[in-house]
Amino acid sequence: MYTSEQVNQLQDLTKKLLNNAVADFSEQMIAGLKEVLRFHEYRYYVLSEPVIADFEYDQLYLLLVKIEKAHPEWVTLDSPTQRVGNSLNQSFTTVAHLVPMLSLDNSYNAADLTDFDRKAKELSGMETLEYCVEPKFDGASISLIYENDLLVRATTRGDGVAGEDITQNVKQIRSIPLSAPFSAKGIQQIEIRGEIILSKKSFDNYNNKLIQQGLPPLANPRNAASGSLRMKDPKEVAARNLDAFLYHVSYYNLIGNNLGELGTHAGSLDLLWEMGFRSPKEEKVVVKGIEGVISYCINFEEKRDELPYEIDGMVVKVNALSLQEKLGMTSHHPRWAIAYKFKARQATTTLNSIEFQVGRTGAVTPVAKLTPVYLGGVTVSSISVHNEEYIRQKDLKIGDTVLIERAGDVIPQIVQAMPALRTGIEKNIEFPITCPVCGSTLFKEEEEAVWRCINIECEAQVVERIIHFVSKDAMDIKSFGEANVRKFYEMGWLKDIPGIYHLPFPQIAVLEGFGKKSVDNLTAAIEASKQQPLYRLIYALGIRFVGETTAKTLANAVHHLLDFTQKTAEDLLQLEDVGVKVAKSIQGFFRNPQNIEMLKQLEQIGLQLVNTKKETVEGGSLSGQSFLFTGTLTKFKRSEAEAKVEAQGGIILGGVSSKLNYLVVGEDAGSKLEKAKKINTIKIISEDAFLDLIG
């Protein structure tokens, strides 16, 4: 990026500026100061090799701020001061990518790669292919557009065709230059792809902060990175220390001659590096033939943990762009590239004890308590071991050394015990016959694997039920949360669900950690929850097997919630998604006098037990039409989309069947889409088409 002569000049100027040896500031001098700041940002953020102290950088930066204040007419769009955003992001507008952002096909072993190579050779007519291999960064993908050397737009991947404009937030990432000298190469406009990542260190720092604030830590650097990009406050984005690797030029328009570097993928990585971007220039390798690719991938996997950031595999790309063009793409991925996914990470540790936890429905889940061990970005200290059967199958004993593994961001699992390491002091795991919380006898149904506490007044169940009731997808009582439920329960103020509406607020206001404002917020949120629609209440009751979709079906099937006390199993079986198991559970709930008493109390308190919505939507524009959403929706939340359908009289189904009219397909749709394709009458539509439909 900088020649040694330039480096010397910039260092000289740095010294002069720091020693106050520059007396007069002209517009030209200011340009030099900006150049100096950019150079030091590059040294620090791209090369990780700073050549001045942080304090010195700050001094130079403040100098620029001062001069720009006196001469606002000298402020340029790419001035280092222009990263700082003062205004909040109100919303993120959707913008189309210049070229669709595709995903990659996956491979997991040498055989998969050999297969990929065979097909690519066949299609390209080549005897051997040259590949460029580079790390697969585990972050959030972005697309950047530079026009006339200036960064004009940054977008999320979105549905691949269009994404959200996150320019202001991306400007907070110091390794992304606000301007780059593309015009020197004759490039007027260029679209670049890459990955926003969070280093392992920044991820830990951020999580430590969350923990200190009593908030739950984020699962992995990828979630942290993608969450950061959509934050309202750009200053908060800056505080997270995001980083970026740029690895693909998806479009450019050239004035003048052809550009040699852009003839190969490796050349484009070098060009990006030369333009001041952090591209995987050093991490990549160019090899002829798939054998070399395979060994590079395998060797790199061994070095994975030494890297300061997370990667989840390698990406293998046909190097010549002319061949890439020849190979083309499917609707989902290019035929000239493939991801090689690393194996799940494994570690060994000791199983110290088993804790039996009682859930909302009384299910008793054994949780293995382990000596904490670091495993692919997180420290693991407990793992669910599901049920008795599972423990027997894996032959787990207390005191065992166990092999654990974690694939991607999947929940860790115990792979196996290591009986060869037993010393004889290991103990069998005894499953309790009584509830570890309330002491009542546990039951197990014949066809089930779990033991259950059937005492619905069991403390553990009561607390879990209340936690579920207030949760986001249920009654959505903001600022209540799990910790408050537990606290109020311990204080004896909250014994059951109706108790939420009779909390002693004056006493809460004087609790440590509570102030007037938080109590006011809580009171308002509890009050607002009384207006939640019936389907939310049904879901919030936590009836076994009744998820959000079934709750909606149930709400639409009655006028008043207590009408369910009159419904026979046959009536219930008529409903969409309701099978024998679900019907039995619903009947069980409405036959229990304690539950009926609770519902009557809730009605008195002012909650909505009447289905008010049902009448209003009849005759809506979608009336009689059924919908199902699949894949990751990028333009709206699933719950919002479903609410829109229902507001216009449509219904939401729980699965693909011939009763379905529309399947709305988001990103990475899987089996539902495949199933729907086989039924001719189902209209398969994109998110955009859905938006058109609902107007």
Give catalytic residue positions: 136
From the centroid of its chain, how far is CA 11? 42
Among 315, 460, 641, 652, binds ligand IVH (CB under 6 A): 315
The interface region with ligand IVH, picked from 1-9, 136-144, 294-302, 447-455 by CB under 6 A, is: 136-144
Determine if 339 is a binding residue for ligand IVH (CB under 6 A).
Answer: yes
Q: At residue 311, what are phi and psi to the nearest 5 degrees?
A: -125, 150
Q: How far is the CB of 339 from ligand IVH (least distance, A)?
A: 5
Closer by beta carbon to ligand IVH, 157 or else 406 = 157
Distance CA 45, CA 48 (A): 5
Among 34, 38, 136, 153, binds ligand IVH (CB under 6 A): 136
What single-letter amino acid sits at 262? Answer: L
Residues in Cβ contact with 597 at an 8 Å cutoff, skipping those fewer than 6 apart: none
Residues 142-201 that bind ligand IVH (CB under 6 A): 195
Q: How far is the CB of 275 from ligand IVH (least distance, A)?
A: 17
Locate all alpha helices (DSSP H) within 541-630, ordered by sequence.
Answer: 548-557, 569-573, 580-591, 593-605, 613-617
The interface region with ligand IVH, picked from 41-49, 129-137, 219-227, 408-416 by CB under 6 A, is: 129-137
Determine if 583 is a binding residue for ligand IVH (CB under 6 A).
Answer: no
Determine if 137 is a binding residue for ligand IVH (CB under 6 A).
Answer: yes
Q: How far is the CB of 321 from ligand IVH (least distance, A)?
A: 12
Radius of gyration of the chain (CA): 30
**Helix, strand, coil percentages in the chain from 3-state DSSP, rounded to 5:** 40, 20, 35
Strand partners, 3: none
Listed residue (338, 323, 315) closest to 126, CA to CA? 323
Residue 425, exposed/middle/buried by CB under 10 A (0-12, 13-18, 19+)?
exposed
The interface region with ligand IVH, picked from 332-340, 465-473, 490-498, 515-523 by CB under 6 A, is: 332-340
Among 39, 116, 182, 247, binds ligand IVH (CB under 6 A): 247
134-165 burial string, b = 16+ CB within 10 Å, else e? Answer: bbbbbbbbbbbbbeebebebbbbbbbbbbbbb
The interface region with ligand IVH, picked from 132-140, 380-388, 495-503, 546-554 by CB under 6 A, is: 132-140
Q: How far is the CB of 563 from ligand IVH (least distance, A)?
A: 49
Distance CA 211, CA 218 (A): 10
Distance CA 190, CA 66 (A): 33
Q: How far is the CB of 105 from ligand IVH (least distance, A)?
A: 9
Closer by beta carbon to ligand IVH, 141 or else 202 = 141
Distances (CA, A) of 117 to 100, 261, 285: 24, 24, 17
From the centroid of its chain, how far is CA 589? 35
Question: Strand 378-384 relative to strand 311-318: parallel, antiparallel, unpaired?
Answer: unpaired
From the centroid of its chain, how far is CA 360? 26
Q: How far is the CB of 595 from ligand IVH (least distance, A)?
A: 47
Closer by beta carbon to ligand IVH, 105 or else 563 = 105
Strand partners, 187: 254
Q: How far is the CB of 245 from ligand IVH (least distance, A)?
A: 7
The interface region with ligand IVH, picked from 44-52, 331-339, 419-427, 618-626 by CB under 6 A, is: 331-339
Residue nearest to ligand IVH (CB): 141
Q: How far is the CB of 195 from ligand IVH (least distance, A)?
A: 5
The interface region with ligand IVH, picked from 21-29, 133-141, 252-260, 655-663 by CB under 6 A, is: 133-141
Q: In the 8-state DSSP scheme, what is residue 299?
A: H
The pattern of x and - marking residues 195 through 234 that bind ligand IVH according to CB under 6 A reads x---------------------------------------
Q: How far is the CB of 126 from ligand IVH (least distance, A)?
A: 20
Closer by beta carbon to ligand IVH, 337 or else 458 = 337
Q: How far is the CB of 99 from ligand IVH (least distance, A)?
A: 9
Determine if 342 is a binding residue for ligand IVH (CB under 6 A).
Answer: no
The interface region with ligand IVH, picked from 73-81, 135-143, 402-410, 640-648 by CB under 6 A, is: 135-143
Token pair 């103990």 is found at 427
From the centroid of its chain, how far is CA 353? 32
Residue 10: in which H helix or E strand, if any?
helix 4-18
Among 174, 248, 335, 465, binds ligand IVH (CB under 6 A): 248
Q: In the 8-state DSSP scheme, what is residue 411?
A: P
Looking at the chain, how many residues does it have? 695
Please tell me the count of residues contacting ligand IVH according to CB under 6 A: 14
The pattern of x and - marking residues 594 through 623 that bind ligand IVH according to CB under 6 A reads ------------------------------
CB neighbourhood size of 170 (10 A): 25
Residues 423-462 that bind ligand IVH (CB under 6 A): none
Closer by beta carbon to ligand IVH, 52 or else 339 = 339
The three-state (H, E, C) secondary structure of 358-403, written as one string: ECCCCEEEEEEEEEEEEECCEEEEEEECCCHHHHHHHCCEECCEEE
Closer by beta carbon to ligand IVH, 102 or else 456 = 102
Listed residue (648, 641, 645, 640) closest to 618, CA to CA? 648
Determine if 649 is a binding residue for ligand IVH (CB under 6 A).
Answer: no
Tokens of 641: 């989309």
Determine if 334 is a binding residue for ligand IVH (CB under 6 A).
Answer: yes
The interface region with ligand IVH, picked from 334-342, 383-391, 524-532, 682-690 by CB under 6 A, is: 334-342
Instruction: Give yes or no for a contact between 243 and 173, defined as CB atoms under 8 angstroms apart.
Output: yes
Determine if 590 is a binding residue for ligand IVH (CB under 6 A).
Answer: no
Q: How far is the CB of 336 from ligand IVH (least distance, A)?
A: 8
Residues 63-122 that bind ligand IVH (CB under 6 A): 102-104
Listed residue (607, 546, 592, 595) closest to 572, CA to CA? 546
Chain residues that interact with ligand IVH, rule: CB under 6 A: 102-104, 134, 136-137, 141, 195, 247-248, 315, 334, 337, 339
